[in-house]
Amino acid sequence: MVFGTLSLLMSYNDKSPTPPRWPLWLLRWFCSERWLEEIEGDLQEEFMLNCRWYNVGYARRNYCWTVMRSFRSYLIFDKLRINNNNHKNVMFSNYLKITLRSLLKNKVYSMINISGLAIGIAGALLILHYVTFESSFDTYQKDSESLYRVSLDIYQNGEQVFHSAENYPAVGPDMQTEFPEVEGWAHLYNMGSKNNVVITYEEGQGQPIQLKHRKFLYASPTFLSLFDVPMVQGDAATALAEPLTMVISESTAKKYFGNEDPIGKRLRLKDDDFNDENCVVTGVFKDLEPNTHLKFEVLISTPTLYTRFDGALTRYKTGWQRKDFYTYVKLAEGTDPMALEAKLPPFVDKHMPELKDQGGRNDLHLQPLERIHLDSHLSDEAELNGSAEPIIFLSIIAIFIVVIAWVNYINLATSRSLDRAKEVGIRKVLGSQRAQLIRQFMFESVAINLLAIILAIVLIAIALPSFYQMSGIPSEVLIWENGMLWYTLIGIFLFGSFISGFYPALVLSSFKPVSTLKGKFRNSGTGVILRKVLVVFQFAASAALIIGTFTVYRQMQYVKSADLGFDLEQTIVVERAAIASPTQEGRVQQVNSFRDELAKNPNIISVAGSSMVPGKKIRFKGDVRGVTQPAGETFPMNGVGVDHHLISTLGLEIVAGKDYVFGDPQNQATVMVTENAVKLLGYESPEDIVNKQVVIENFRFTATVRAVVKDYNHESLRIKAIPSIFFYSPFQVEYYMVKINRQNIDQALDAVKAQWDTTFPGNPFEYFFLDEYFDQQYKSEDQFQSLFSVFAVLAIFIGCLGLFGLSAFTAMKRTKEIGIRKVLGASVPGLFYLLSKEFIVLILISNVIAWPLIYYTMEGWLQGFEYRTSINLLVFGLATLIVVGIALITVSFQTVKSAKINPVDSLRYE
């Protein structure tokens, strides 16, 4: 025996694997004592065997799974039966019985209660999932809180001309050498607007696999380790150290190589800068998490860039001229980023001493990695980022909804007190203590909350597909894996059970048995006031949400239908070919033939080429001044390269002067400006500036203005139309815009593809519709709008459930009064008015409370748009009408019923 215990002790000491603890607790909780011991023993034995035969992980999983599978009725019922002898459990089962009975007795109430709570919880949890996803960006990265991106602001003559996510290539390495608090750096080059790459696997069997890539970056050798990119194959520290090396994602590897080993294979990259490089795959990384602001599938080593031409090392690593590298630094523990930021101006001065004399200033800022997705809206962002505002709004709505649902519960529970007053009286007479009654009502509240939570989970599961679509969260981010969700669920359950159970429990248990049994029971005045306050709160929230929804909707309609100054409709856009003719003449030839041949097709109205596409920020800035203005005092303007078809294809309007004409020798020497540039350049009206000269200082180019174009909104209406200058460059085409005939879209598309394949062989054909592309800028607003409206509807629905219960209660309370009034000759409509009046007043009060609150909130939201609708007061009236209407309908179910009741019945009531 002693020996046995000893060996048992030893087996605990020698670090033998143990099964997880929680399944055992679960098992002990539900499993009948009768079989518990041997089941535990068998589970343990199986676990040990599995450890020996397979591995610990498998054994643990199997253990949990088996326990879950053991959740069988015979074990549980046996336990319940045995435990029933126990005194505590008698009360427990009695509570259960009473709860079930009262739930079943008032099916409508129970349904309202449970479904109201469930909808509220489900809605709040869905919002929570959205909120946690949006705020989880990049938090999974190792040491994410010590990683910062260095952004760049450039000022010229005190005016901000550049506000970019990208920076000089030398910023990262120089910061590390000069500041001890910078532990590491990495930078990535995304080729900016020229990000147009075709990657081909040529060495495989059969047809070479050729794909056009967008999620494509050049990364410094330090990048993989700094971001701790999880590698499947290859070494993060060395994979990108050599020129002509690349790492690719697992799914990209699958696309090119199938099941073959990708390491050592070669992929050929061709881009429209005539780079043609055959790179070796030196590593494969796990596909990235969807919640990162920096998404890539292919990374190529920056040393590849250094081999491109003489001086490439300066251009791509040590230089302070070009600014096109995403730069990340890792700060040592305990570094204050603000203190480091303060040291950056002298750092810039040291490396760019000539800047001050030219009237320029560069500011470097540190952006915390985790906040980039929500807070950063610079030019040249790697992704379209989200924004923090809707997140806050939605969180408030989520809290609102849950609170409304709880309020409902309290409301209904107290209003049912009349119903249960007699039960309480009898219980008290039979010797119930107040504490016991409180316990009973608390138990009911726990039971109802539990049911509601189960129903909420079911509702979430049902709503999930449409939720994913609406919110734009990738569906691989499983809601069930969100830990926050479960904690919140438990929190809501505990808090809700307590909060919503406590007040009714106190009220109900306080009744005096004598008065309740004599039938003299009347509800206390304070209870009524509390209930009214709760209703006012609910409907104030509902009205606010309705007004908010309308305002957001109106603004989005306004923004989308506003006159942008050009025409987005029926235009498709094709990005220029990555693989083009190597000679200048050849490329001119290609551009010409694509444009001109295509224009001959009857289904195509016109074809234009440009350096820009509306909806994409323009990086290319001209520092422009009028020829009479003093040198150096320039205005930054968007620089746009156009051909002689662009103005007409996009439907831009010329206010003064003439568009470019094909073959006009003056084309190259002339520019066009937008109307808002006229005043800046020192002229009163558009007519005045035509044929005058302007100087574009950064190109050392003086040109004549040939025409003035009406202002157009190149980007979303959140920002003002930017002054622009148009240059004639018909062959530097980055985007082809093809206006097609609406009737024959398919034929037109076929024609474009056919012409593409003829002119640019070897390039995959891709296109997009201009209007869809432009509207993508409003993606986050669209999501916000749909979430907002859905949850507004939910809030109103829950509010109505509460009102329904409340009206039923009031009607019941006044049954006798109604009977007497009827006997004395009151009409049904008169009674209906009498009964509804009270609620209408409440709802009007709640609307009045909601108005100023929502007015200021929406005013603040609209401030975010440069172009906005005014808040329409009609919307307020409309929302009030809707709320009152819905409330009246809800209330009428009860009031009509009680108004119609035969007075004989109602007078005999009680």
Partner 1 sequence: MKGTYLGEFEELVLLTVALLEGDAYGINVKLEVEQRTDRKINLSVIHSTLYRLEKKAYLNSALGEATKIRGGKRKRYFSITPYGVRSLKEAKSLRDGIWNSIPTYVLQR
Task: Give min distance, CB of 2 to partner 1, in A.
Answer: 14
Q: Please identify which residue in the block is written with the tokens 């079911």.
A: 458
Given 26, 44, 597, 857, the residue binding partner 1 (CB under 8 A): 44
Q: Does 48 bind partner 1 (CB under 8 A)?
A: yes
Residue 724 in contact with residue 637, Cβ under 8 Å? yes
Report phi then psi at 298, rounded to 5: -135, 130
Q: Does 15 bind partner 1 (CB under 8 A)?
A: no
Task: Give min distance, CB of 1 to partner 1, in A.
Answer: 12
Question: Of the ranges 30-38, 332-340, 555-563, 692-700, which one interacts with partner 1 (CB under 8 A)?
Answer: 30-38
Nearer to partner 1, 48 or 853 (CB): 48
Rounded to an integer, what distance in angstroms lies between the CA atom of residue 773 and that of residue 384? Answer: 12
Nearer to partner 1, 75 or 263 (CB): 75
Report phi then psi at 610, rounded to 5: -155, 165
Nearer to partner 1, 16 or 307 (CB): 16
Task: Give min distance, CB of 67 to partner 1, in A.
Answer: 8
Given 30, 35, 553, 620, the residue binding partner 1 (CB under 8 A): 35
Given 20, 33, 37, 145, the residue binding partner 1 (CB under 8 A): 37
Given 17, 26, 30, 40, the residue binding partner 1 (CB under 8 A): 40
Alpha helices in 562-684 (DSSP H): 584-599, 646-650, 675-680
Contact set for partner 1, span 482-521 (CB under 8 A): none
Question: Of the ranges 37-45, 151-159, 220-228, 527-535, which one interacts with partner 1 (CB under 8 A)?
Answer: 37-45
Q: Is the dihedral of CA 800, 803, 805, 811 positive or negative?
A: negative
Rounded to the nearest angstrom, the gap between the alpha carbon of residue 152 and the centroid of all alpha carbons in its chain is 26
Question: Of the ranges 64-72, 478-486, 571-579, 678-686, which one interacts with partner 1 (CB under 8 A)?
Answer: 64-72
Nearer to partner 1, 67 or 798 (CB): 67
Residue 153 in contact with residue 160, Cβ under 8 Å? yes
Task: Give min distance, CB of 84 to partner 1, in A.
Answer: 20
Of 575, 471, 477, the closest CA to residue 784 belongs to 471
Nearer to partner 1, 40 or 228 (CB): 40
Nearer to partner 1, 76 or 896 (CB): 76
Of 508, 502, 509, the closest CA to residue 442 belongs to 502
Q: Does 39 bind partner 1 (CB under 8 A)?
A: yes
* Amino acid at site 262: P
Of 638, 796, 801, 597, the closest CA to residue 724 belongs to 638
Task: Give min distance, CB of 75 to partner 1, in A.
Answer: 8
Task: Give min distance, CB of 85 to partner 1, in A.
Answer: 21
Rounded to an integer, what distance in angstroms lies between the CA atom of residue 362 and that of residue 321? Answer: 12
Task: Give min distance, CB of 14 to partner 1, in A.
Answer: 12
Quick check: helix, strand or coil at residue 606? strand
Given 17, 26, 66, 371, the residue binding partner 1 (CB under 8 A): 66
- Beta-ladder partners of 151: 365
Task: Give min distance, CB of 235 to partner 1, in A.
Answer: 38
Question: Of the ranges 65-73, 116-124, 321-329, 709-717, which one interacts with partner 1 (CB under 8 A)?
Answer: 65-73
Q: Does 7 bind partner 1 (CB under 8 A)?
A: yes
Q: Does 592 bind partner 1 (CB under 8 A)?
A: no
Rounded to an integer, what distance in angstroms lies between the CA atom of residue 739 and that of residue 609? Answer: 11
Tokens of 723: 């002054």
Rounded to an integer, what distance in angstroms lies between the CA atom of residue 749 and that of residue 762? Answer: 18
Q: Does 41 bind partner 1 (CB under 8 A)?
A: yes
* Amino acid at site 663: G
Nearer to partner 1, 30 or 731 (CB): 30
Q: Does 8 bind partner 1 (CB under 8 A)?
A: yes
Question: Of the ranges 67-75, 164-172, 397-405, 783-791, which one interacts with partner 1 (CB under 8 A)?
Answer: 67-75
Quick check: helix, strand or coil at residue 285? strand
Contacts for 273-280: CB closer than 8 Å, 24+ residues apart: 273/191, 273/194, 274/580, 274/582, 275/308, 277/244, 277/304, 278/244, 279/244, 279/245, 279/246, 279/304, 280/244, 280/245, 280/246
Given 22, 49, 101, 311, the residue binding partner 1 (CB under 8 A): 49
Given 1, 4, 207, 476, the residue binding partner 1 (CB under 8 A): 4
Question: Of the ranges 43-51, 141-149, 204-212, 361-369, which one interacts with partner 1 (CB under 8 A)?
Answer: 43-51
| Residues 68-107 as x/- pattern, contact with partner 1 by CB under 8 A | -xx-x-x---------------------------------
Site size for partner 1, by CB under 8 A? 24
Measure Cα distances from 852 to 289, 535, 551 in Å. 42, 19, 14
Given 20, 22, 28, 45, the residue binding partner 1 (CB under 8 A): 45
Nearer to partner 1, 35 or 865 (CB): 35
Nearer to partner 1, 78 or 775 (CB): 78
Across 470-482, b (16+ Cβ under 10 Å) vs e yields bbbbeeebebeeb
Nearer to partner 1, 18 or 732 (CB): 18
Contacts for 333-340: CB closer than 8 Å, 24+ residues apart: 333/146, 335/146, 335/181, 337/148, 337/366, 337/368, 340/179, 340/181, 340/182, 340/366
Interface residue list for partner 1 (CB under 8 A): 4, 7-8, 11, 35, 37-46, 48-49, 65-67, 69-70, 72, 74
